[in-house]
Amino acid sequence: MHNNHRSGNDTEVHDEIHEALHKVAHVDFTKPIIRNASTAVLYEEALEHEPGTALTSTGALALNSGTKKGRSPADKRIVDETTSTNNVWWGPVNIKMSESSFMVNRERAIDYLNTRPRLYVFDGYAGWDPKYRIKVRVVCARAYHALFMKNMLIRPSEDELKTFGEPDFTIFNAGEFPANRYTTGMTSTTSVAVNFARREMVILGTQYAGEMKKGICEFLL
């Protein structure tokens, strides 16, 4: 477990995860980043910082995913770029998105994440066989989302985490913040988009955690 949230507001942290997120998302070096926290820590974080969160009589964590209680298939998009143009069965299920619209949403998501008082990161593996598995990085503003993916992905050992390096697929989950419905290709304030060329997924306007799992399955297939 790597907890970087104990440092003061003006203290710069130049560890691996801060350097990586500063490079790809301009995250400030003073931003508290909680990476691969234990289940107990994520429970505490959710109970302290996420209104409506509570422990049930069985010890499970009850959370609020906002207005979306399930997936939003009509708001899913795949970026139409050179590696996907001729390899995706385009239609009412696999809906095209331009690269420029993806980058607008990516920037919007990153801007929102950078306004949050703390970020959560979970680095894990998708796929059991080491020969075929991929390294996934989830960047989010809710402990709930980090906890969900901690349960979904294969957890790296301490040694594996130390040498995790660059991920093969990154999810920027800014689901608390809406998409701009006037962005080209948007049909609502929800956007769940995968860019195969950039190996990224961007989520806006839905806090339903299952979108992340489906995005990884989509990337693997």
Query: Can you give the pTM of this predicted structure?
Result: 0.93
Dump pLDDT digits (tens) for 109-149: 999 999 999 999 999 999 999 999 999 999 999 999 999 99
Asked whether 125 and 133 are in contact (CB, 8 A), the reply is yes
What does the block give as tokens for 111? 């801007």
Dump pLDDT digits (tens) for 162-208: 999 999 999 999 999 999 999 999 999 999 999 999 999 999 999 99
Q: Determine the residue type at 18.
A: H
Structural domain boundaries enclosing 34: 2-220
Average pLDDT over residues 92-103: 96
Dump pLDDT digits (tens) for 141-151: 999 999 999 99
Rounded to whole angstroms, what are the CA distances from 91 to 17, 53, 74, 95, 148?
A: 38, 39, 11, 6, 30
Q: Determine the residue type at 206.
A: T
Q: How many domains does one find in the chain?
A: 1
Q: What is the CATH number of the domain that holds 10?
A: 3.40.449.10
In whole angstroms, what is the distance from residue 1 CA to residue 135 CA? 17
